[in-house]
Structure formats: structure tokens, C-alpha cells
A and B are shown apart, each in its own frame.
Chain A
Amino acid sequence: MIPASAPVPVSFEDRMATVDFRVAADAHITVDGDACRGCSTRACVTACPANLFVPMADGGILFNYEQCFECGTCYLVCDTAGAITWRYPEGGHGVAFRRS
């Protein structure tokens, strides 16, 4: 049961719109969709707090780096070697927290 006082739920898009991202021209994380085809855990899909890993019908993964928190969760939970290439974005780019 949701209490009457519960806050109005926000869509994931609106949630991410509260965060300031200074998007770099180059992707700092790349995902090899082919490597993902053999993956049974799909751990990244629910663990990524920014919800950036989208499973595709063909078993691959669609990934977009633009709204990434640079947290590191994905490379730690993924146990398929070579699926994720991870580095920090170019200096001055990426997430910029203001109120956390």
C-alpha cells in the first residue's frame, strides 16, 4: 500500500534530468555487445544506477555513456572479460554534482 503522503513518483528520464552532465565528445565507457551475448547474469542491467545498459532482442547490449555517474559499478559486477572498457571521461567533462 502506498501511503497518501508518498511523494509523486518521477519518471527515470525526469530523475536523470536533475543531474548536470557535461558530455564529452568521446565515450569513456564502451561495451562490446558481442561479448554480452554469452552473458547469463546481465548484472549491469539492473545494477547501473543510471540505467544505461539496455538489453536488446538479439541478446546484445545497447549502451550510451552520456548520463554516467562514473561510479564503477558496471566493471566490477561484469565478469565477462573484455565486455566493458572503462576509463574516466576527459577532464572537466562528465557528471558534475551540485547538491550532493
Chain B
Amino acid sequence: MSAPGSLTASDNAASSDAARFDAVVVGAGPAGSAAALVLARRGHRVCLLERGPYPGSKNMYGGVVYPRILDELLPGWWEEAPVQRWVTRRATMMLTADQALTVDFRSEAWGQPPYNGATALRPDFDAWLAAKAVDAGALLVTSTTATGLLRDGPGGTVGGVTTDRPGGDLRARVVVACDGVNSFLAKEAGLYGKPDPANYTLGAKEVLALPAATIEDRFALGPGQGADFEIIGCTGDIAGGGFLYTNRDSLAVGVVLHLPALAAAGVRPEQLIAGLKAHPAVAPLVAGGELVEYSAHLIPEGGYDMMPTLTGPGMLVAGDAAAMCLAAGIWLEGVNFAIGSGMAAGESAAEALERGDVSEGGLSGYERRLRDGFVLQDHRRLRHAPHLLLSDRVQRRYPQLACDIVEDLFTVTNPEPKPGIGRLVRRRVASSGVRLRHLAADSWRALRTFG
């Protein structure tokens, strides 16, 4: 078999039932590697299965990880994590065709340990985290796709996975599905209802090469510091948003698009990226950048309300596979939620294995852990955010209104005296077509959601 890495070991293991694994973790993304690391540290025999040729090869994102969740798991992670830049500047931009209103925040503290966020490339970051699981004793098997679940009888306890290797069934007492946003394993297990495109957004991005010094000049950054721009109002008729992040010697620029609107719009993703790059507020930042990689990936945008059942007999679901990416406007955090849920899955699976009860009840510690921690607390609190943020008013009317009000505020109309701010705002609201009761209702909803 033309097999990379450790395949022989797994083939042997698969062929003899005595050598079955305690756990098979499917997917060496951040969720899977965190789960495998925790299980291996507790002394369990873990197989970490990845369909790509190397961890991270199938994984694309915007570009910022928030790794504080690693403080406990990998103390001193910042000494060795493959970081591109430490984010010390975060901005939110509202764009109209020819205006831009930016809230721009900088903190020098974010450039010092313990840091806050960092840009990183997924092939680097995911490989690094997977290597930690391997160091702890997990067996990483790449280039192998899990094709289904093994069950003890129809609808019975999950007892491993089938793979696309000849004779490649992997038996295990528990399966942790960390197989990402499309999670065919969670669907096969019946943990999801019928997928609804309204719960998903498509991200498409370009990586543009630029010299490090040019990036630091343009974004007003010190050496090694990075910037993170979230952008709304740049996706035309399609609900969504844009982003611009700085790597060491490249920029990541892209759009995130609500699937039903994308399907109906007749505009292609790369055209929207081109529009964003041509906007007068963005063009000077990206000018001259040479396209070195184009990529696309789905985001489970629906949050709390789209989550599947999290456990089945012999099985747990974590990370994007369980829709645990937090996509709530100013926050796009998936990697930390994947690691957090992967750790909880690993701990709960280890506990269940040690007690010898991997039934649904035996695995119920998982959901409890998530509810006690940030993963489900943040998701519960922000459960209405996706709906609010994808609404037409938030997407288009409010950015236009905000830009117009600020333009009025700063336009000097001499010899006319300055209008009172209250009157100016009322006038703009009246002409914007936004109804005051909608504005009031949305503000109230925003307060309840984010407050």
C-alpha cells in the first residue's frame, strides 16, 4: 500500500480485534487533535484519523486563532505555536459604495504574553496541534477517509468506523466525530435533522503575498504585530461580511456569504472579493498583493439553534461537526470553540472508558462540561445573533445610515451653521427608509443578544 506515515500500524490494529482502539477520533482539525491529546494523556489508545495528506490540508479559515484555551492544556504554548503575527489591532469597518466608517482599536498588551489572538496558517497550526497529540501517544493516520460508522447491530452502539482503505475498519469503544462542518458521521448517526442551507455561510478568500515591511507600514504595525479587520456592507445583496487579516508576509482577504442569498444572487464569490479589494478604503491596503492561494470552506453559522444532539451510544460530536463555531458579527471564533469542545469530549470519553460505560448516559458528562464552560454559555447567550446579523437592516440599511450620519457630522456646510445632532440624526433616519420602531426593536434585540 502506498501509505504515508503510520498506516501499517493502524492496518495491523484494525485487523485484530484484540488490538482495537479505546477511541477513534475522526478529523485532525483543532477539535480532533485536542480530543486525541486529552485521551492519550489519560493513557487511552487513540487513533486520530485524517482524510487529508497532512493535518490542515483541508482546512481553511479567515485567519485568527484565540489560543488562551490552551493555557491549561499546553502551558507556554506561545513559545512554540506556529504564529504569523500577534494581533494588536482590531477594527470593524462599515462600508457603503463610497464611504467607510471604522471603529479601530489597538492594544499593546495583546502583543505580550499571554497574548490574545494570533494570525496563523492552518496547515501549520493544525499540524502543530496534531503533533502534540502524537507526542502524548495518539496514533495519527492521514490520507484515510472515514466512510461510515460500525455498529453493534442496527441502531446499536457505535463501535468504530469504516474507512476507504482495503480492510480498513477501525474498531474502537468510542468514536469522537470531529469531522468538520459537513459531518457525515453525525448525520449518519441521526444526530442532525435535515440540513438547512440557511444555517450555513460560504467563506472564500485570497491570500495575497506582500513583503512584511510593506504590511507593517500599511497597517501601522510594529514588527510581528498583526491587524484583524471585520467588514460589513461589502457583500451587495447577499447577507454576509468580509475580512482582512495580516500574516507575516501575506494578507488574507475574503468574504463570508449566506448560502440561500448566494444561491439566488447570480453573483460569484470571487467577484465579491474583487469588489471588496477595489473599495477605496481597502484598495490601498491590498495594492500590489500577488494572489498565492485561493480557497473556500463552509461555516456552520446557525450556532446554538442548529446544533445536533451531542452524544449517541458510543459516540460524541465536537467542533464544527457539532456547529460549535461562534459566528456572531464582531466575533468569528471557531478554532477556540473547536479546541474547547474537543477537550471536553476527550475528558468525557476518557471518564466513560474508565467507568466502562460508553452508553449515551455514560457519555453525558460531555454536554454538562460544555454547559458549565464557555462553549455553550457563549453560544446560548448569543443564540439570536446570527438571525439579527444576517437581517437586511443590519446588513445594508444600518451601515448606510451610520455612514450618512457621520458624513453629515463632519461635513462643514458653511455658511450654513451646524445643525443640531439630534435633528441631523432624525433627518437621516427619516430619509433612510428605516422605521423608528424597527430601529428600536433591533436595538432592543441587540442589547438582549449582546448585552
Contact = CB atoms under 8 A, between A and B. Distances in A.
B280 to A, nearest CB: 6
Interface in A15-52: 15-16, 18-19, 22, 41, 43, 46-47, 49-51
B293 A72 contact: no
Contact of A91 (B61, B165, B208, B291): B165
Nearest to B142: A92
Query: Most B CB atoms within 10 A — which of A6, A43, A92?
Result: A92
B286 A7 contact: yes
A77 B56 CA distance: 26
B53 interface: yes
A92 B165 CA distance: 11
B41 interface: no
A7 B293 contact: no
Given A69-B296, A92-B53, A7 B123 contact: no
Contacts of A87: 147, 184
Interface string B46-68: 00000111101111110000000
A15 B121 contact: no
B4 A46 contact: no
A71 B298 contact: yes
Given A18-B291, A18-B294, A73-B259, A100 B207 contact: yes
A94 to B, nearest CB: 8
A5 B294 contact: no
Interface string B185-206: 0000000000101001010110
Interface stretch (B11-19, B268-276, B442-450): B268-276
Nearest to A16: B294
A97 B292 CA distance: 11
Contact of A47 (B122, B202, B208, B293): B202
Contacts of A90: 145, 164
Contacts of B181: 72
Interface in B213-243: none
Interface string B282-321: 0110111101111111100000000000000000000000
B182 interface: yes
A7 B205 CA distance: 15
Contacts, number: 150
A47 B205 contact: no
B123 A99 contact: yes
B contacts with A: majority SS: mixed
Contacts of B61: 100
Contacts of A97: 56-60, 122-123, 293, 295
Contact of B4 (A18, A50, A92): A92
Contacts of B292: 18, 99
B421 interface: no
Contact of A100 (B205, B269, B291): B205
Contacts of B294: 15-16, 18-19
B295 A92 contact: no
Nearest to A68: B296
A5 B293 CA distance: 21
B376 interface: no
Interface in B240-262: 250, 252, 259-260, 262
Query: Most B CB atoms within 10 A — which of A10, A49, A89?
Result: A49
A99 B139 CA distance: 25
B348 interface: no
Interface in A64-100: 69-73, 76-77, 87-92, 94-100
Contact of B297 (A69, A77, A91, A94): A69
Contacts of A12: 270
Given A18-B293, A71-B297, A46 B60 contact: no
Contact of B123 (A9, A46, A98): A98
B293 A19 contact: yes
Contacts of B205: 100
A92 B296 contact: no
A95 to B, nearest CB: 7
B1 to A, nearest CB: 11
Contacts of B54: 96
A2 interface: yes
Given A7-B286, A91-B164, A96-B52, A46 B262 contact: yes
Smallest CB-CB A-B distances: 8 pairs = A92-B143, A43-B263, A49-B296, A5-B287, A100-B60, A77-B263, A91-B144, A96-B57
5 contacts: A3-B283, A41-B263, A49-B204, A76-B195, A100-B123
Interface of B: 4, 51-54, 56-61, 121-123, 142-145, 147, 163-165, 181-182, 184, 195, 197, 200, 202, 204-205, 207-208, 250, 252, 259-260, 262-270, 274, 277-278, 280, 283-284, 286-289, 291-298
Given A73-B202, A76-B259, A88-B145, 18 more contacts: A3-B278, A7-B287, A47-B262, A47-B269, A49-B296, A69-B60, A76-B298, A77-B260, A77-B262, A87-B147, A92-B144, A94-B52, A97-B57, A97-B293, A97-B295, A99-B292, A100-B121, A100-B122
